[in-house]
Copies of this chain bind each other. A is one copy, B any other.
Amino acid sequence: MTRTGPLDRLLVIDLTRVLAGPYATMVLADMGARVIKVEAPATADDAREFGPFINGKSAYFMSLNRGKESIALNLKDDHDRAIFEKLVAKADVLVENYRPGTMEKLGYGWDRLKDINPKLIYAAISGFGHTGPYRARAAYDMVVQGMGGIMSVTGYPEAGPTRVGTSIGDITAGLFGFAGIMSALYDRERTGKGAMVDVGMLDCQVAILENAIGRYLADGVVPQPLGARHPSITPFEAFATKDSHIIVAAGNRTLFEKLCGALERPDIMADPDFETNDLRTQNHERLKVELEKTLVTRSAEEWLRVIGDAGVPCGPINNVEQVVNDAHIAARNMIIRTDDPVAGTVRMAGNPIKVTGFDDPRKRRPAPQLDGDREAVLELIGMADASAR
């Protein structure tokens, strides 16, 4: 029997909606876990309503929820609560991304959940975490991108505030949530004990600021937006060619020499202003002008071949259409598909974690219809006769 992935013995109850939580449970499902989405019959996951739609089904919802099952349960109804509690008792993991306090209002705070199942790993992903002065506030990706500092280092000073073009606030919280779940599960193998994992989106923004915090705390200079340039390595940025921009990343002296050689510009190499990385970083504007004098004489495609053949890391700036059609991305199985009963064949981003011994299927199970797996879920908890509502 082919296994679905290294996590195929995990049962996950998924109360998440929209993005941060669903991203965490998407990775769990991609890695083989059985993920059961518990949705409110009336409201369901909001993302089911996000356009664009394919035959009325949200592309957004379908890509984040591939491979999951769905059961509709009203957690304010006694009958449905009994079903939910049986699921919790049987589950390895429960994930939710409500505002702190919501689970308590439903009567399912961590104290109650661990009464039902002392081995449960309970992951709560929220805007600001379950402690601290902002804990009760609602947050969306845009809010934590603004508060967490990443917007202050992204873009051009003169262009105005710039958001990272993907919901990096939600996505990194989903990934750290997954990391916390797996850490707690690994520990449970020895202790037999459950745990609560508390991940706040704002915290995750701080954790991905990389060298910006270290630089500020070392020299007291507040990091500024840097356009398309690396803050401390030069040349390491986007350059204009005859037709479009390309990225050139000559991260050390050897690569800088190779770049000047490929461009047939020994004068740049010999210029004392460009002798060390520190000098190149100080004089980056003039260096860019000099490099572009040559780069604008030929097309991006030609330069990428010449510079790449010289062994200097470089690449195009692809749009989404070019990404989807890239040969390497296809070879890495990074565009997969599902056969959806309503939307037909739907393509989406694949799973970037490749593990020996497991298939990385080109086709995954589609996202569920609301309540589409009621029977199978009730069977799992020995309540198949309760399927009549």
For A238, the chain B residues whose CB sits under 8 A away are 142, 146, 151, 160-161, 163
A217 touches B249 (CB 8 A): no
A388 within 8 A of B: no
Looking at A68-76, A261-269, A344-352, A368-376, the stretch in contact with chain B turns out to be A344-352
Least distance between A2 CB and chain B CB atoms (Å)? 14
With a CB–CB cut-off of 8 A, which chain B residues contact A383?
none
Determine whether A16 belongs to the interface, using a CB cutoff of 8 Å to chain B: no
Is there contact, CB below 8 Å, between A165 and B153? yes
Contact digits for A321-333, partner B, Cβ 8 Å, 1 yes 0 no: 1111011110110
Tell yes or no: A168 within 8 A of B by CB.
yes
- CB contacts under 8 Å to B, within A341-367, are 346-357
Q: Report the bound CA distance from A112 to B207 in whole Å.
A: 35
Does A320 interact with chain B (Cβ within 8 Å)?
Answer: yes
Interface positions, chain A 1-60, Cβ under 8 Å from B, are 5-7, 9, 19, 27, 31, 46, 50-54, 59-60
Q: Cβ of A168: which chain B residues have Cβ within 8 Å of it? A: 164, 168, 208
Which B residue's beta carbon lies closest to that of A211?
A: B60
Show 7 residue pairs from A and B whose CB-CB distance is below 8 angstroms, ordered by the A residue: A6-B186, A138-B313, A144-B315, A146-B316, A147-B326, A164-B168, A198-B354
